[in-house]
Structure 1
Amino acid sequence: MPLFAAAAKHLHARRTTLRAVALCAGMVLAQAVSAAPAALRVGDQSGLVQTLLQAAGEAQTPTLPLSWHPFPAGPALLEALSAGAVDVGVVGNAPPVFAQAGGFDIRIIGVADGAQNNNALLLPQGSTVQQVVDLKGRRVAVAKGSSGHYLLLAALRQAGLSPREVKIAYASPIDAQNAFASGHLDAWAVWYPFVGQATAHGARVLVDGSAWPETGLNFTVASGQALADPQRARQLGELMVRLARAQAWATAHPDAWAQALAGSTRLPLELVREMLAHQHLRYVPIDPSIIALQQRLADAFAAERLIPKPLQVEQVFDSRFNSLLPQPD
């Protein structure tokens, strides 16, 4: 009996030890899981940001896991940001103006400059128009509240024309593309890749955005909720560093970037190469000059009553990540 009692006691002690070891292991695993950062939710249009980071070798790391959420256009992405459905995304210059006018809880945390030539005012093949003033009384299509819309307003203003002196037809790029190709429009304000597709079929560029530097800005925009969370804010800072490095890589390696982008978007490689030849994007600090450029957009849209009242755009800029950007050589 003593032998069996001793064996039983030993077995009980061993089981107790194993349970303690298992409990400790479970606690360590739970702590490790809880310590792992939650994925930063990135809103993406046409997979462009994801493709850029992957092509540049700046895709997610253990310290910056990313989850990707597709959106058809900037306004929908910013609405999701304001609602807290995503944390960050990249959009053009016009959507933040309308988001701010709508009271959206968003902040511009990064700026890429150098896409001025991405927008153009196009004329159909055979058009007799030689300068912008010749558009008086003619039918011009544009997507309302877009970067192309701002280019049209700026070009008309420079030519001494009021928007009411031309017949502006608001249409999505796809609808306008069909109307333009069938000869129902005298001009079309739009951006790449639609510019390249139209010029390949005989359209002519009347003006592009080169005279208006404000048309060349792309914005990285974060939700107010994400910026208020310390862990999310740290992730946003790391994302800004990676985006800046990735964009620098893309600008320095246009052919490799064109092939990656063509594969992602399924656009013809030559069209993508042409589009990228009109862009020289680089991330720049948020400073008064950048804010002043964006103010021009807001003022133009307010003057045409496209937004209900004038805005002070500096209210939606957040420059906390400026110091993380690579310094120019």
Structure 2
Amino acid sequence: MPAPPLDTCATDTQAARLGRTLRLFGLTALLCLLVAAVLTLIPPTAGSFWRNLWFSQWIGLWAAVAVTLLRRLPGLQRLPRRAATALRLAVALPLGYVLGYACAYALLGEPVRVVGLRDYQVAAIVATVLSGGFVTYLAWLRQRLADEAAARLLAQKLAVEAELRMLRAQLEPHMLFNTLANLRSLVDEEPAQARHMIDLLITYLRAALAGSRTDTSTLQAEFAQLAAYLEIMALRLGTRLRYRLELPAALQQARVPPMLLQPLVENALKHGVEPKVGGAELVVSARRDDDGGLLLEVADTGLGLAPGHETEPEAGGYGLAHVRSRLRALYGEGASLQLAPRQPCGTRARVRIPA
């Protein structure tokens, strides 16, 4: 898929920062509520719950503000994550305690009493440190889980691309050997057609080699490769194969994974067109759906799905399973591959790639 515009990336970053800040303040408010409840039950304090809540919320608010501001310091951003977290905690908690008590006393109209620690203030400090440490631990745990999820996603993508290379290694020699066998029979009998097939084979192999060296391709390149492949198959099958490629000009530069449609076309030829007496038609098309997503279809008028597979979502062999796994790894649950019967006969494979 094309890289998003720079302003979109900036908006996403700002939204992510805002989300982290709101989660920090919300979690801090909940922990301060817990701290107030605990302080109310401690014998040395045993103060009013609402008074304890008032002070704890102000301390938590200023501590959260301090953490938020410290996150933006370039010097801290260059430190290792654990060291930066410990330093933010060491600065934010005392600062939050002092400023929180000062604001709470000032708004109550009482003299500010922060220096000269008493038992209830010691308990408040301990509760503040513990709650701050708990917030920090939760933030660290959440970040660690996010990093592990990202690592799993990357590993899945790498595994899928490794499977793609293996699939190419299986498909291309098979297709190449069959084409060379046909060329051998055409060289003496129909040399002009043999030269045409060689040109098509060169086009197909050049496109396949280019696709193996990149993570994405354009629909224009994919359809050019499919055109060469289907023309080769049409020379082999003769009048038994009729095909059409329908690619609107507006979608020619749309980015897709390389060789995404090749297994679907091969599946349609192998299971739909070739076994059918009299042959069939195969249509490959692309269009946008109502949500701006990309819809790619490989439809044929061949034998159709085997009995019992009409409503089976995982119908198809290794090639189709590989397409599904690639879509899931690259686009998540927003992408899909659906296999359905086509009326009055044949099969339709539909790929949806989200916008």
For this structure pair, what is the TM-score category when the shorter chain's length is used for normalisation? under 0.3
Greater helix proportion: 2
Q: TM-score, normalised by structure 1?
A: 0.27
**Which structure's CA Rg is the greater one?**
2
Greater strand proportion: 1
Q: TM-score, normalised by structure 2?
A: 0.25
Relative CO higher for 1 or 2, CA cutoff 8 Å, sep ≥ 6?
1
